[in-house]
Amino acid sequence: MQQIYDRINETARIIQSYISEHTPEFAIILGSGLSKLEDEVEVISEISYKNIPNFPKSTVAGHKGKLVYGKIQGRYVLMMAGRVHYYEGYSMQEVTYPIRVFKQLGINRLILSNASGGVNPNFSIGDVMIIRDHINLFPEHPLRGKNLDEFGARFPDMSKPYSHTMIATLEEIAKKQGIKVQKGVYVGLQGPTFETPAEYGMVRILGGDAVGMSTVPEVIVARHQGMEVCALSVITDLGGPDISPNVSHEEVLNAANIAMPNVVKLVKGLIEIYK
């Protein structure tokens, strides 16, 4: 048990030496094809994951692996350019390890982005969805095992997984800037296959608006330790029992690229005005 705390401390100590100017106010995790947000950072320092002890290393195309520290709209942020996924073979503890380290560094807010398949018939490819809730269908729970009492409770509350004030702020920004946003429920499945038509149909029946292979584990761990969380999902394809979308990773990256300017505007706006 002590071992895990020691490991988190060791990682945090190394990162701390790169971010000593000011504690980041936001941690940001970039999803598939959403790396352009990185260009918005006035960079102070960068650390490749391979130089961070105990950090998982990403293996997917389109996912780089570095932490970027700097400012957006004059506020300090720490950005994960590249995340690791459960489907790559990492354990849930590995996937969510950076979230533990963020907390240890004193960061209390987390902004996530991802790409997902839309199952709500009102959605179009390239829409940005503010995630208002999620359904966890991963086969392993990130909090399974001995509880890390120093971070949070054994049975964490999940009544408000996504910050209502952050969501309201994002909606306000979208309205002011004329950006079309959807709001919905993200269903997390392990992948790496995209869903069959029947599975997209199941996601819809269960109450989902979009389905993807990330984010849910990170959000659970962030909420366990009391971080304030918001997440944006770019709808990169549409699925349903009567739609055979024939999705490829390239199409996902292309659609994410098209929606990118809106994601950038929303995240920049949030960081600028969120108190």
One-letter amino acid for residue 61 of the chain: A
Q: Compute the radius of gyration of the chain from its Cα atoms.
A: 18
Specify burial of residue 248 (Cβ count, 10 A radius: 0-12, 13-18, 19+). Answer: exposed
**Binding flag, residue 34, ligand HPA (CB under 6 A):** no
**Binding flag, residue 239, ligand HPA (CB under 6 A):** yes
Residues 71-110, one symbol each (x = binds ligand HPA by CB under 6 A, - = not), give: ----------------------------------------
Tell me if residue 128 falls in helix, strand or coil. strand
DSSP conformation class of 24 = -
As measured in angstroms, the least distance from the Cβ of 117 to ligand HPA is 2
Residues 154-193, one symbol each (x = binds ligand HPA by CB under 6 A, - = not), give: ----------------------------------------
Q: Which of 82, 11, 77 is nearest to 44 (CA)?
A: 77
**Binding flag, residue 127, ligand HPA (CB under 6 A):** no
Q: Which member of 117, 142, 161, 208 binds ligand HPA (CB under 6 A)? A: 117
Backbone angles phi, psi at 173, to 5 degrees: -65, -45
Looking at residues 190 to 219 of the shown chain, list those that interact with ligand HPA (rule: CB under 6 A).
Answer: 194-195, 211-213
As measured in angstroms, the least distance from the Cβ of 110 to ligand HPA is 20
CA distances from 270 to 80, 88, 166, 263 (A): 18, 31, 8, 11
User: Within the chain, where are the H helices?
Assistant: 2-16, 92-104, 164-177, 197-206, 216-224, 249-273
As measured in angstroms, the least distance from the Cβ of 244 to ligand HPA is 12
As measured in angstroms, the least distance from the Cβ of 187 to ligand HPA is 9
Output 105 or 119, the one with its CB closest to ligand HPA. Answer: 119
Residue 91: count of CB within 10 angstroms of its CB? 13
Q: Please report, as ranges, the residues that interact with ligand HPA according to CB under 6 A.
A: 115-117, 194-195, 211-213, 236-237, 239, 247, 252
